[in-house]
């Protein structure tokens, strides 16, 4: 049997003293960046080393150092924030980052443009507001995402589930606090035991958990390593469907990588949930590929073994076997939760759209300042969504008009004035900061929306809903692999075009055409959109139409 050669990252983890490594000593030097080992370990602390790729070439030719900065991702289980936490994040964006708040598709906040000297002050500010960036990245259970569950008609057990699971699967190591907040590097080497779940080398790669609504799928639950869907067992009562093996990222460098939707594993009762999830994660820890990070995700274990053999592996790590899954109803289309909605306790929520998730003030509108004003003046809370928008929650009916006035004063466009394409569009940051990006995404999304809307208008279809997602590489951060129209960066100037997914999130899009130039994408879509106009059933979504008739 050939010897398995582990990746360098596995060695870094094993020798890291529970993720401390040389980070502390390198924070103290004058270099604007970190060594390769520290860069890998920083990811566990929610920190990615980046440089401005817009100026990389000219700096390299001039033999100047790259323009290094850092992205910091804040863990926010279920996307829920108090007004005090929101104000703290808003302030950090202005004083330590590039002035913007980036809302991610996993309900986190990212800061971009942070310099090395700002890492510790930023961590201290997070710590003071009971927040952290630890575990937002790295080979651990990541931020637990959830459909908005703040309505009091939802059981308290379900509403509290994201925070409960985040606590249950957070690593034990205090490395983040010691290195970034306290400054004590614990040179004695005597550390608290890490969870058996993780061991000395943690997981093969990241592990994502999502909690869906029982009726709609705004988090794309089938794209998760493990998805949780509330359900009622005909004999046992309330509990959860567990689905496993989802993931949308691929690699052009490895043809044996692919997008995959999760499959039903079992039905569990609430008091069984953590134990069964732990068995799934331990199965992944034991069987995941540690020699090839491009193929290290759990979806490949499920795919290679088959679901039944994977079930047997999970059952072997439990004290008892796995219960069979029960029949599942199809989840409804994703609710974007935008606009005004009344809750069962007579309070209101207001969903505010944030194009591409980038919240910043500009020359024509200042949505960031508007939300700051609302956090300062009203007794409300905030919930980030997996669709890169933000909900203001707990609004008293008497405050509705005043909040509308604040948004109008700051020229925030009302939801009623947005097209369906704008409301449904997602994009990843891509260039100039993401090291994985092959081409543009966030910066050119508005232009792409305009081009496709012109195409729809020319066909007389501007009122038809259409879902658009765009990424600068095949890692799939904006989940284009389940979109009605998915645009995925292929080269510096071209994209692969996927079609036929949809807002239910339970069908993969199919590759329609490779290496399409940006400006040619609307023309390539035109014949499909024209067929949709001429052959679709009443109100049939584009993705459902293509699933029925094909895209050839």
**pLDDT tens digits, the chain, 552 residues: what are they?**
467 899 999 999 999 999 999 999 999 999 999 999 999 999 999 999 999 999 999 999 999 999 999 999 999 999 999 999 999 999 999 999 999 999 999 999 999 999 999 999 999 999 999 999 999 999 999 999 999 987 878 899 999 999 999 999 999 999 999 999 987 655 555 678 899 999 999 999 999 999 999 999 999 999 999 999 999 999 999 999 999 999 999 999 999 999 999 999 999 999 999 999 999 999 999 999 999 999 999 999 999 999 999 999 999 999 888 999 999 999 999 999 999 999 999 999 999 999 999 999 999 999 999 999 999 999 999 999 999 999 999 999 999 999 999 999 999 999 999 999 999 999 999 999 999 999 999 999 999 999 999 999 999 999 999 999 999 999 999 999 999 999 999 999 999 999 999 999 999 999 999 999 999 999 999 999 999 999 999 999 999 999 999 987
For the domain spanning 339-418, the CATH number is: 3.90.480.10
What is the C-alpha to C-alpha distance for residues 270 and 156, in angstroms, rounded to an integer? 12
Q: Give the strands of the sheet with 263-268, arranged side by side.
A: 145-146, 209-211, 226-233, 237-244, 263-268
* H-helix or E-strand spanning residue 227: strand 226-233
Per-domain residue ranges of the chain: 1-138, 203-335, 339-418, 422-549
Is the pTM value of this prediction over 0.75?
yes
Under 8 Å CB-to-CB from 46, ≥6 apart: which residues? 72, 73, 74, 75, 132, 133, 134, 135, 136, 137, 138
CATH fold group of domain 203-335: Sulfite Reductase Hemoprotein; domain 1 (3.30.413)
Instruction: Say whether 422-549 and 1-138 share the same fold.
Output: no
What is the C-alpha to C-alpha distance for residues 30 and 21, in angstroms, rounded to an integer? 18
Give the per-residue SS3 of 69-126.
EEEEEEECHHHEECHHHHHHHHHHHHHCCCCCEEECCCCCEEEEEECHHHHHHHHHHH
Give the pLDDT confidence of 537-546 residue by residue, as tens digits.
999 999 999 9
What is the C-alpha to C-alpha distance for residues 24 and 190, in angstroms, rounded to an integer? 16
Contact (CB, 8 A) for 13 and 168: no
Other C-beta atoms lying within 10 Å of the C-beta of residue 447: 12
Select 422-549's CATH number: 3.40.50.720, 2.70.98.40, 3.30.70.260, 3.30.413.10: 3.30.413.10
C-alpha dist (Å) from residue 351 to 70, 118, 282: 30, 32, 38
Burial environment of residue 232 by CB neighbours within 10 A (0 to 12, 13 to 18, 19 or more): exposed
Contact (CB, 8 A) for 74 and 122: no
**418 conformational bin, left if phi > 0, alpha if psi -120 to 50, beta if neither:** beta
Does the domain formed by 1-138 have CATH 1.10.10.10? no
Parallel/antiparallel/unpaired status of strands 80-81 and 68-74: unpaired
């Amino acid at each position: 049997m050939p010897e398995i050669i582990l990746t360098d990252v596995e060695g870094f983890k094993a020798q890291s003293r529970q993720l401390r490594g040389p980070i502390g000593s390198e924070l103290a030097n004058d270099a604007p960046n970190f060594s390769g080992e520290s860069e890998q370990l920083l990811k566990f602390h929610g920190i990615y080393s980046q440089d401005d790729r817009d100026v990389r070439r000219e700096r390299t030719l001039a033999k100047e150092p790259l323009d290094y900065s850092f992205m910091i991702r804040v863990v926010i289980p279920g996307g829920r924030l108090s007004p005090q936490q929101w104000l703290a994040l808003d302030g950090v964006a202005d004083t330590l980052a590039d002035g913007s708040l980036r809302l991610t598709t996993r309900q986190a906040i990212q800061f971009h443009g942070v310099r090395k000297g700002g890492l510790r002050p930023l961590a201290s500010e997070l710590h003071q507001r009971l927040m952290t960036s630890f575990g937002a990245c790295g080979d651990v259970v990541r931020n637990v995402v959830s459909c908005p569950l703040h309505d009091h008609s939802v059981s308290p057990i379900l509403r509290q589930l994201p925070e409960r699971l985040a606590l249950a699967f957070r690593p034990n190591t205090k490395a983040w606090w010691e290195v970034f907040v306290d400054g004590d590097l614990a040179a004695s080497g005597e550390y608290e035991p890490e969870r058996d779940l993780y061991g000395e080398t943690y997981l093969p790669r990241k592990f994502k958990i999502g909690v869906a609504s029982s009726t709609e799928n705004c988090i794309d639950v089938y794209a998760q390593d493990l998805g949780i869907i509330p359900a009622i067992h005909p004999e046992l009562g309330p509990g959860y469907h567990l689905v496993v093996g989802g993931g949308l990222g691929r690699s052009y460098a490895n043809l044996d990588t692919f997008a995959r939707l999760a499959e039903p594993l079992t039905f569990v009762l609430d008091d069984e949930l953590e134990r069964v999830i732990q068995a799934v994660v331990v199965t992944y820890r034991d069987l995941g590929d540690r020699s090839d990070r491009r193929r290290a995700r759990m979806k490949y274990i499920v795919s290679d073994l088959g679901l039944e053999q994977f079930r047997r592996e999970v059952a072997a790590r439990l004290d008892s076997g796995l219960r069979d899954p029960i029949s599942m109803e199809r989840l409804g289309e994703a609710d974007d939760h935008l606009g005004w909605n009344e809750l069962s306790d007579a309070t209101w929520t207001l969903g505010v759209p944030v194009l591409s998730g980038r919240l910043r003030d500009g020359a024509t509108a200042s949505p960031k300042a508007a939300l700051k004003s609302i956090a300062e003046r009203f007794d409300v809370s905030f919930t980030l969504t997996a669709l890169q928008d933000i909900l203001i929650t707990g609004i008293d009916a008497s405050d509705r008009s005043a909040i509308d006035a604040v948004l109008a004063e700051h020229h925030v466009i009302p939801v009623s004035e947005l097209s369906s394409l704008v409301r449904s569009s997602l994009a990843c940051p891509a260039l100039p900061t993401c090291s994985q990006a092959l081409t543009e995404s966030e910066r050119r999304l508005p232009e792409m929306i305009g081009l496709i809307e012109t195409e729809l208008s020319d066909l007389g279809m501007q009122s038809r809903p259409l879902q658009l997602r765009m990424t600068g590489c095949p890692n799939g951060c904006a989940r284009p692999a389940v979109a009605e129209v998915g645009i995925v960066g292929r080269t510096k100037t071209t994209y692969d075009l996927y079609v036929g997914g949809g807002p239910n999130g339970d069908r993969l899009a199919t590759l329609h055409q490779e290496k399409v130039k940006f400006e040619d994408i609307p023309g390539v879509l035109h014949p499909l959109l024209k067929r949709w106009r001429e052959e679709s059933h009443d109100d049939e979504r584009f993705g459902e139409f293509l699933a029925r008739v094909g895209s050839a």
